[in-house]
Amino acid sequence: MGEKPKVLLQNPLQSCLETLRIDNVLTLLESRAGPNHRLVRAFGIDNAFTTTQKRYYRSFMRRARHLVTKDEPTWQVMGDLIKDHVRFECQSSTINNTFPLVQLVQAVILKTTMYTLFDLPMEKLDATTIRLIAELINRLWIESKSTKISGKFREDRRELERLLGTIFQVTGEYNPSENPLNLILPAYETLWRVVLRGFLEVMFRGAEAGAEWRQVLVTFLADPTATTFRRANDLTGISVAFLVAETLRLYPPTRRIYRDIKREYNTDPPELFAADIEFLHRDANIWGDDSLCFDPSRWRDVSKECLDAFMPFGWKSFTCPAQDDFGPRMIGLAVGALVSEFEHGWTWCAARVEDEIDTEGPLAAERDSYMTLGLSRRQQ
């Protein structure tokens, strides 16, 4: 994305909505596909984020909705599965008795995503391969923002294709419409950064309420029904739904929504606009003076103004099919599984000052943040 987007912040809610409603001779799909073309170059995908074809978009969305619609028995299986994934990754990823947290979360979420969307047998999801795929996705995503294509970029893409081929039994390049990353990327990218920060907030930054927050998450992990997701703790009045909503508010998976805008039919290139969702979610004029604090209690009596300003999964025409149930419940399950594994006897450590988490305000939201952050046993 070489062009710097125009981001309007004078009145965040109004500016965000104006950016998404602005006069445009491009179709809605064309307006979104342009800013996402870098992902086509990086991953060879053709999905709802990159297509300009209405029929293909509708077909893709129908398939995605079907894949993320799960009955309650399936949610129970998924709860057990993600708990097993966390335990297995802990056994296979320790370095000097320390678990690299980002890599652990990425591997757990990627493995769970691939199993959930494709029902792959576990023996195909080798731990080393999964961690390498996650690393390559992250690296290619960052590199795709550059206007230059380096030799390393090409090598990373070929290696990612090779590794996916060993799992999905495909040789050579994928047909873009059949690329498994079409489905993997939206789910994986929606989840892993949110899960990481939700876990850190609940586990290490929750102050006095942290124990009660962790308890409702562990209870939900054991009984991952919609009812348990919404059930409030008797002491705090906090539910898993509130914890997840507050995580999505402070750390939205899509920090900005980009759109190409052309106001007239001419040969001029489109202008790039961005609706700043992260800024909107943290605006004190909407959320109050504690807008930069992680406080799930705000969701007990949330105003219509706040709900109107809450758009972690997109807005109107392009909302994510996982927003109503699958996404929030998966975040709750993953954070619950991490809490269950690390609640007692663990602390955090970081090799870089910028990766330390005992800071004021929200956690860093960059893709390469916390790469040296790890978990280690507390000294007795």
For 288-310, the pLDDT digits (tens) are 999 999 999 999 999 999 998 99
Where does residue 127 rank: exposed (0-12), middle (13-18), buried (19+ CB within 10 A)? middle
Phi, psi of 272 (to 5 degrees): -100, 120
CB 144 within 8 A of CB 41: yes
**Do β-strands 6-7 and 98-100 pair in parallel, antiparallel, or remain unpaired?**
unpaired
86-123 as b/e: b if 16+ CB within 10 A? bebbbeebeeeebbbbbbbbbbbbbbbbbbbbeeeeee
Give 127's DSSP letter.
H
H or E stretch including 377?
strand 373-377
Cα–Cα distance measured from residue 97 to residue 88, given in angstroms and rounded to the nearest whole number: 15
Neighbours of 3 (CB within 10 A): 12
Cα–Cα distance measured from residue 79 to residue 336, given in angstroms and rounded to the nearest whole number: 9
For 16-58, the pLDDT digits (tens) are 767 667 778 889 999 999 999 999 999 999 999 999 999 999 9
Per-residue pLDDT of the chain (380 residues; tens, 9 = 90+): 455 666 544 456 667 767 667 778 889 999 999 999 999 999 999 999 999 999 999 999 999 999 999 999 999 999 999 999 898 888 776 666 788 999 999 999 999 999 889 988 766 788 889 999 999 999 999 999 887 888 899 999 999 999 999 898 877 677 899 999 999 999 999 899 999 999 999 999 976 788 999 999 999 999 999 999 999 988 889 999 999 999 999 999 989 888 888 888 887 888 888 888 999 999 999 999 999 999 999 999 999 999 989 999 987 778 889 999 999 999 999 999 999 999 888 999 999 999 999 999 999 999 899 999 999 987 75
CB 278 within 8 A of CB 53: no
